[in-house]
Amino acid sequence: MSGTIRTKDGHGRLGSVLSGLAVAVGCALFLGGFVWGVLVYRPYTVPTDSMTPTLDVNSRVLAERIDGAEVKRGDVVVFEDPLWASSPMVKRVVAVGGDTVACCDGDGRLTVNGRAVDEPYLGPGIDGRKTASGEEFSATVPEGSLFLLGDDRHTSLDSRTHLEEAGQGSVPRSAVVARVDAVVWPAKGLLDRPASFAGLPGGLSEPGPFTTLLTMITAGGILVFAGAAYGPVARLLGRRSDGGRAGAAGTGAGAGAGSGAVKRTGTGTGAGT
C-alpha cells in the first residue's frame, strides 16, 4: 500500500518538475527571441506606394539594422538623405559603386554593366507591360554609393529623379540605416532575394534571423502554455480518477451489504425450521 502511494507521489513530483522546466525554457526562448528581435530589427511603416506591389502603402515591415557596407544589389533598404526627403525612405538597390546602370534594353529590362536584369517584382504599367522605366536613362554609380529605384517605376521618385545632381542620383552607403527583411502586416513573411542579381559580382545578401526569432518566440509561447496548463489539467484528471475509484468502492460496498442480508435471511429461516 505504501509503495503505491510513493509511486503516485513520485509521478506528481516528476510532473511538477517537468512543468516548471517547460515554463522556464519557454520563458527563456520567448523573452530571448523578443529581446534579440528588438536589438536586430527596427519596425517601419511604408508611407507611400512607390514600392508596390512588394510593399503596399502603410505596410508594417521589420528592417534589420545594418551598416551600409553590407548592402548588395536587390536589397530593399531604409535610408535617410536630406537631399531626398526629411523622413526615412524605402527603395530597392539596383546598382552599387562602380556599376553602370541603364534602361532599357529591347525587352524593357534594366541593365547593369551591360547585363539584362529580370525584375519579377515589378508591377505592370498602364499598357499592361512590365518595364523597368518609363524613360530611358544611364548612370555610372560612384564608389561607396548606391543607385535606388522604387518597384512601382511609374510613380516612384527615386534615383532617376536626381540624375542631374552630383553622383547621378546615387545615395551614399552611409545613408542606409536598415535593410527590410520581412513584411509583418499584411503578413507576407520574408522578402525574396531576386535571383536575377545573383550572377553579378558580390551576389545576394543573406536573410536576417527573422525565421529563427519567430521559431524561438512561437516555441517559447507553446512551452509556457503547456507547462502552465499541466497543473490544472493534472488536478482535473486526478479528481475524475478519485471520483471513479470512490464510485467503484461504493458500488462494491453496496453489493457486499446486499449479499450479507441474503445470508442472514437464509440462516434465520433455517433456524426457525
What distance in Å separates the CA atoms of residue 246 and residue 236, rounded to the nearest whole number? 15
Contact between residue 102 and residue 158 where contact means Cβ atoms under 8 Å apart: no
Can you give the residue ranges of every domain in the chain? Answer: 38-215
Dihedral of CA atoms 214, 219, 221, 222 in degrees, nearest 10, equals 140
- Helical axes 210-272 vs 2-40, angle rounded to 10°: 160
pLDDT for the residue numbered 61 = 98
Question: Terminus-to-terminus CA distance in the chain, angstroms?
Answer: 46
The hierarchical CATH code for the domain 38-215 is 2.10.109.10
The answer to whether residue 91 is catalytic is: yes
Contact between residue 139 and residue 103 where contact means Cβ atoms under 8 Å apart: no
The answer to whether residue 50 is catalytic is: yes
- Nearest to residue 205, comparing CAs of 65, 97, 75? 75
pLDDT, one tens digit for every residue, the chain (273 residues): 444 334 455 556 777 888 889 999 999 999 999 999 999 999 999 999 999 999 999 999 999 999 999 999 999 999 999 989 889 999 999 999 999 999 999 999 999 999 999 999 998 877 778 899 989 999 999 999 999 999 999 999 999 999 999 899 999 999 999 999 999 999 999 999 999 999 999 999 999 999 999 999 999 999 999 988 887 766 666 666 555 555 555 555 444 444 444 444 444 444 443
| pTM score of the predicted model | 0.79
What distance in Å separates the CA atoms of residue 273 and residue 255, rounded to the nearest whole number? 28
Grid coordinates representing 211 are: 525565421
Give how far Cα 149 sits from Cα of 63, 115, 163, 254, 256, Å: 18, 17, 12, 87, 90
- Which one is catalytic: 19, 50, 59, 133? 50
- Which one is catalytic: 59, 91, 156, 159? 91
